Structure 1
Amino acid sequence: MLNFKEIISVTLILFSVIDVIGTLPVIIDLRKKTGKIESEKATLASALLMVAFLFVGESILKLFGVDVSSFAVAGALIIFLLGLEMILGRNIFKADDHGAGSSHIVPIAFPLIAGAGTMTTILSLKAEYATANILVGILINLVLIYAVLKSSEWIENRIGPGGINILRKVFGIILLAISIKLIKNNF
Structure 2
Amino acid sequence: MEHWTEYTRFLTALMVILDPFAAIPIFLSLTQGYSQSQRARVVLVTIITVALVLISSAISGESLLKTFGTSLASFRVGGGIVLFIMALAMLRAQADKVKTSPTEEAAAENKATIAVVPLAIPLLAGPGSISTVIIEMHRSSATYHGALVILCILITCILLWIVLRLASPIGRALGPIGRNILNRLFGLILTAIAIEIIANGLRELFPSLA
Same fold flag (TM > 0.5): yes
The SS at the match of 2:69 is coil
Name the stretch that deviates more: 168-177 or 98-107. 98-107
Partner residue, 1:75: 79
1:127 aligns with 2:142: no
Aligned length: 186
Superposed, 1:21-170 pairs within 5 Å as 21-35=21-35, 36-37=38-39, 38-91=42-95, 93=97, 95=101, 96-97=104-105, 98-99=107-108, 100-102=111-113, 104-128=115-139, 130-170=145-185
Q: CA deviation at 1:54?
A: 0.5
Partner residue, 2:206: none
Once the two structures are superposed, what CA deviation does each residue of 1:76-118 show, in whole Å capped at 9, x if it has no partner? Answer: 0000000001111345625123313436222211111111221
Q: CA deviation at 1:34?
A: 4.2
Q: Which amino acid aligns with 1:24?
A: I
Once the two structures are superposed, what CA deviation does each residue of 1:37-96 show, in whole Å capped at 9, x if it has no partner? Answer: 221111111111110111112211111100112101100000000000111134562512
Structure 2: tracts of 5 or more residues without a match: 203-210
Q: CA deviation at 1:125?
A: 2.0
Contact persistence 1:69–1:127 (CA under 8 A)? no
Contact persistence 2:90–2:96 (CA under 8 A)? no
Larger radius of gyration: 2
Q: Percent identity?
A: 28
State the alpha-carbon separation in 2 of the partners of residues 131 and 79 from structure 1. Answer: 22
Name the stretch that deviates more: 142-151 or 25-34. 25-34
With normalisation by structure 2, the TM-score equals: 0.81
Q: CA deviation at 1:4?
A: 2.1
1:177 aligns with 2:198: no
Q: CA deviation at 1:159?
A: 1.6
State the alpha-carbon separation in 2 of the partners of residues 155 and 91 from structure 1. Answer: 19
Q: Which amino acid aligns with 2:12?
A: L
